[in-house]
Structure 1
């Protein structure tokens, strides 16, 4: 069994039309958080997504004034607070290659890096550059993955048990190679859905996300999540910290 620790870089803001499908009319900016997840157990130290530093740098002064109640925290500082140094991480699982989920990959020099094959190939294909502009897909981390980290990069397909009790499941809705992660804990299965949902409300009110690659796959992922008797930990919902104030499961 594993324990899952919720790490939170801080608060920021997303357009309502990103969080909620446009047809539902939820257009106002939405306050979100930046969660990523430390998994420990069975002799392993695993990170699911990398967090992102300096969240304030992505916000306007007005957004900071209205929505940010405390300074953001760096990924490395959060890990050290949890008693983990970056070099201790032996497995890094990336749900997808949007900048806020992979940008700090270079912090982890000893980790095997698990990524869906479709995601890797799609983002790197020059003909897809209009869908993966540099502003949202910084190339420096891709270059690092393809060079310094090449021997540690593991491309997977479909559903794979990457460690005993930890599975990745291709969903392909939010991005072509998006994958969710399930973790066995003493409290039951934990699902880390990446960005197939942003908020619990996406599930509860049956409102799909507004930023998607394949709408049918988004809906299928939502149904899959509902069909599993599991603890769900969205990456961007502040409610996660209300439901799990200790930030630890299992």
Structure 2
């Protein structure tokens, strides 16, 4: 059976636009989704990211959380006939406040998988308070329970397989320990890329404030160099048929360009197409 990726809707957050794209529309507030991803069709159900803990915790970043009953993780899984205890692996693209807030709802025999460098980075004090204490302390507790945690060393080992057809690789962007999750689908490789990309239109399609051909715009929220961010985005556009960020709808990629957007399942029908030469700045 072919692997499929189902998008889970964990709610929305309101934040400043320049957080999404560096220097773009400073002071303007935008509402963006927070997605998780359920990988089905393999040996075990796999979940990528768990969203944010509650609306109140987003206030620590000066953001507004918009999470309602339907967005609760147990309700999102129930739409696919699953309970919390049915998830075998939770993979984290990284551990920021809106990505790892619901791990404590899962039993200790659900294995949380993350890049060891991300765990180190989360307790370094860099980018605080994007790593809230309740989320990180729960992960520390998991370290001492058999099978509750699996660390990857992606900068040393290269890609590591989780189940057949699903593997992780170092993202090389956003945070020092961010990782991408790669899934073999019937229509090509899909990459769940966390926050390496926030906004396809403003970073890639119309790439605001950028003159050069096919030069992506970086986000306003990264810990590495701008060159590393650009290179990581270009790598995604070069290597994968589908890209799935956490705060924008999935995209289909051809010849390093966005050719369509998808809804809540990958592979799936494209809901719209993008003119070929919209890479030029407006």
Identify, as 1 or 2, the structure richer in helix: 1
- Partner residue of 2:219 out of 197, 209, 227: 209
Residues 57-103 of structure 1 deviation map (CA, whole Å, 9 limit, x = unaligned)? 747xxx98xx9798762111111122110000001100101011011
Kept after mapping to 1: 8 A contact 2:191/2:240: no
Q: How does 1:162-173 map to 2 (within 5 A)?
A: 162-173=162-173
Aligned match for 2:235, one of 224, 227, 234: 224
Alpha-carbon distance, 1:229 to partner: 3.6
Inter-partner Cα distance in structure 2 for 1:143 and 1:191:
29
Aligned 8 A contact 2:14 2:29 in 1:
yes
**TM-score under structure 1 length normalisation:** 0.84
Query: CA distance change for structure 1 residues 121 and 69 in 2, over 3 Å: closer, same or farther?
Result: closer
Alignment partner, residue 274 of structure 2: none
CA distance in 2, matches of 1:19, 1:108: 30
Aligned to 1:157: 153
The answer to whether the Cα contact below 8 Å between 2:37 and 2:47 also exists between their aligned partners in 1 is: yes
Gaps of 5+ in 1: none
How many residue pairs were aligned? 237
Partners of 2:67 and 2:105 in 1: CA distance: 27
CA offsets 1:86-138 (integer angstroms, 9 cap, x no match): 000001100101011011111221321111111111222xxx32x243x4322
Cα 1:121/1:53, change in 2 over 3 Å? closer
Using structure 2 for the length normalisation, give the TM-score. Answer: 0.75
Q: Which runs of 5+ in 2 are unaligned?
A: 208-215, 252-259, 268-282
Relative contact order, higher structure (CA 8 A, sep 6+): 1
Change (3 A) 1:221 1:41: same
Given the superposition, is the C-alpha separation of residues 183 and 153 from structure 1 closer, same or farther in structure 2, using an over 3 Å criterion? same
Q: Tell me if the contact between 2:173 and 2:222 (Cα under 8 Å) persists in the aligned partners.
A: yes
1:162 aligns to what SS in structure 2?
A: strand
**Alpha carbons 1:197, 1:234 under 8 Å: kept:** yes
Q: How do 1:27-176 and structure 2 match up within 5 A?
A: 27-52=27-52, 54-55=54-55, 58=58, 73-109=71-107, 110-124=109-123, 128-129=124-125, 131-133=126-128, 135-148=129-142, 150=144, 151=146, 152-158=148-154, 159-176=159-176
Task: Give the equivalent residue in structure 2 for 1:237.
Answer: 248
Two-structure CA RMSD over aligned residues (Å): 2.6
For residue 145 of structure 1, report the CA deviation from its aligned partner: 1.7
